[in-house]
Amino acid sequence: MKIGVMLRDALRRLLGRPLTIGYPLKPERPATPRGYRGMIAYDWETCIGCMLCLKVCPSGAVSVADRRKVTFDVGRCIFCGQCAEICPVGAVRLTSEFEMVAVDRSAYRVGPRW
Ligand code: SF4
Ligand code: SF4
């Protein structure tokens, strides 16, 4: 790269608007792009227990729960979206939630609530 081009780029970045935001210091949540794959939401009442999500999950994040329902271990999840894609009844989806901080691993388990 020529030095002139480099200097021009450096100056433009220096004087222009920052590309990053002050999150989490800024009070507003940054918007997520369309199709963002975040925290798993599971509608256990809609789930028919077909276990297709368990079969396709590449990271072993899905396990069988009581009464032919499933549990998602979000701590193991790689957010590929395969489970949501294959679910025949739309019982699982990936939300735009990205703030996933917890001190207890059980907070990352999404399953039925009897
Ligand atoms: S998003 Fe991917 S890794 Fe996460 S539970 Fe679903 S299939 Fe498994
Ligand atoms: S694929 Fe859908 S319906 Fe089948 S077990 Fe998973 S969440 Fe339930």
Note whether residue 20 is domain-resident. Answer: no
Of the ranges 3-12, 17-26, 72-81, 102-111, the best mean pLDDT one: 72-81
22 located within any domain: no
Domain count, the chain: 1
40 CB neighbour count, 10 Å cutoff? 24
pLDDT at res. 73: 96
Write out the two tokens for 103: 């001190």
Residue with CA closest to ligand 2 atom 1: 87
Average pLDDT estimate for 23-34: 82
Evaluate whether residue 97 is within a structural domain.
yes
| Ligand 2 pocket check for 110: Cβ under 6 Å | no
Read off the DSSP letter of residue 105: G
Closest CA to 47 of 74, 75, 77, 83: 83
pLDDT at 23: 80
- 68 backbone dihedrals φ, ψ, rounded to 5°: 50, 45
Note down the domain range covering 91: 29-110
pLDDT tens per residue across span 50-102: 999 999 999 999 999 988 999 999 999 999 999 999 999 999 999 999 988 88
| Burial zone of 53 (CB within 10 Å; 0-12 exposed, 13-18 middle, 19+ buried) | buried
The response to whether residue 39 sits with its C-beta less than 6 Å from ligand 1 reads no
HSE at residue 49, side-chain half, CA atoms within 13 A, is 8
> The CATH number of the domain where 42 resides is what?
3.30.70.3270
